[in-house]
Amino acid sequence: MITGNDPILLTPGPLTTSPATRQAMLRDWGSWDAAFNRMTQTVCADLVEIVHGENDYVCVPLQGSGTFAVEAAIGTLVPRQGCVLVPNNGAYCARLIRILQRLGIAYVELPLREDEPVSAAAIEDAFNRDSRITHVAQVHLETSAGLLNPLDDIAALCQRHGKSLIVDAMSSFGALPIDLRKGGIDALVSASGKCLEGVPGMGFVIVRRSVLDAAAGRSPSLALDLQDQYAYMQKTTQWRFTPPTHVLAALRCALDQFIAQGGQPARGARYMRNCAALIEGMTALGFEPFLKPAVQAPVIVTFHAPRDPAWNFADFYTAVREAGYVLYPGKLTQVETFRVGCIGAIDANELHNAVAAIGRTLACLGLSVK
Ligand SMILES: *Cc1c(COP(=O)(O)O)cnc(C)c1O
């Protein structure tokens, strides 16, 4: 799937995109151009359809990286007197807490280990302990370790308790099944440059129409006001403020490929094959995955660093990069790790080759893994 000599990004975004997606950026669009604005509409409609949002949900696109959209969703959708429960098993959960702190919104943290998915029972206990809680901000796939949280159980629980659920589905959207028809989810946040295999530069929020309508005038931020962004788009068909034209054109093209390849089930299946090839190959080299298979999502894999005292991630990274593959540092607080992504326009063949390159690099640097 790759052409040319560019390195393959084994990172969770930016990631390796297909040549067609890159080519879609070779023309300029004006923000008044009706064809561009129609493209925005079809992208939004397709994004809603991927998670079966049907008529109850709308998609609000937003300029910026994924965090901009997360902050916009929280700032727009949570009333100032609300209180948000944040199950915390990694850096992206911790980022939600920092956003809530900046916004001055009350929150309750549910601390977890970085290899421990949250359970619906633990969330229910938190509801019972603290009646202030009105919302849950849940990271679906904690990209810090690659950990999968049980979204369906959490959504069902929130629905039963009448709590509003906002999901950071940044690194799961498009790859893992999410079905809004099951109920319980008020908003899902993701971005162009993750499992949809577009380029980075825009986020989007799929939000229950009634929840968005009720949020008029609430956001303390002008640029991150999702309701205003949506209302303006409805009125004018245009983006409020300069749109990320090339990013949107690339996402349109990436979505065409996503649909042609078989949609979410096919995307998820390819990533599963990539992940299996990666873990199998790395295990054969002596590396040990940080997570147990049952909680490992097929998006990014955290490996323990070799115990060899000569180990140094920066040197290893540089050597593997020279062989054509870009790895990712670990993001865990307690243990020395590094990460390898299995998403992007790559298949198991590239992962086999990456593992072979890692094996050669180890030999070259004289590192032992065990
Ligand atoms: C990538 C990611 C984000 C957004 O990060 P940005 O650097 O702002 O794109 C948020 N949450 C999760 C779980 C992610 O993987």
Dump pLDDT digits (tens) for 144-162. Answer: 999 999 999 999 999 999 9
Give CA separation, 13 vs 83, 290, 327, in Å. Answer: 31, 21, 11
Average pLDDT, the chain: 96
Q: Has residue 1 got a pLDDT over 70?
A: no
Residue 105, pLDDT > 60, answer yes
What's the CA-to-centroid distance between 205 and ligand 1, angstroms?
13
What residue ranges line ligand 1, CB within 6 angstroms? 12-13, 65-67, 70, 92, 139, 143, 168, 170-171, 191
Ligand 1 atom closest to Cα of 90?
13
Residues whose CB falls within 8 Å of the CB of residue 189, separated by 6 or more in sequence, listed in order: 66, 69, 70, 73, 166, 167, 168, 169, 170, 203, 204, 205, 206
Q: Which atom of ligand 1 is nearest to the CA of 13?
A: 1
Residue 4 has pLDDT above 80, yes or no: no
Task: Give dist(CA 270, CA 346) in Å, integer.
Answer: 9
Cα distance between residue 365 and residue 194, in whole Å: 32
Please report the domains of the chain, with CATH numbers, ordered by start residue: 8-13+264-365 (3.90.1150.10), 19-260 (3.40.640.10)
Nearest C-alpha neighbor of 139 from the set 128, 147, 131, 130: 147
Compute the average pLDDT of residues 27-51.
96
pLDDT score recorded for residue 253? 98
- 193 C-alpha to ligand 1 centroid (Å): 10
Q: How many residues does the chain have?
A: 370
For residue 97, is pLDDT > 70?
yes
- Is the whole-model pTM more than 0.95? yes
Ligand 1 centre to CA of 281 (Å) is 27
Confidence band for 32, pLDDT divided at 50, 70 and 90: confident
pLDDT tens-digit profile of 211-223?
Answer: 999 999 999 999 9
Residue 202 clears pLDDT 70, i.e. is over it: yes
CA 187 to centroid of ligand 1, rounded, Å? 16
Q: State residue 217's pLDDT score.
A: 97
pLDDT at 333: 77
Q: What is the pLDDT of residue 3?
A: 53
Per-residue pLDDT, 6: 86
User: How far from chain centre, in Å, is Cα 77?
Assistant: 19
Query: Is residue 360 annotated as involved in ligand binding?
Result: no
Amino acid at 361: T
**Which residues have C-beta within 8 Å of that of residue 202, sequence separation ≥ 6?**
61, 62, 63, 64, 191, 192, 244, 247, 248, 251
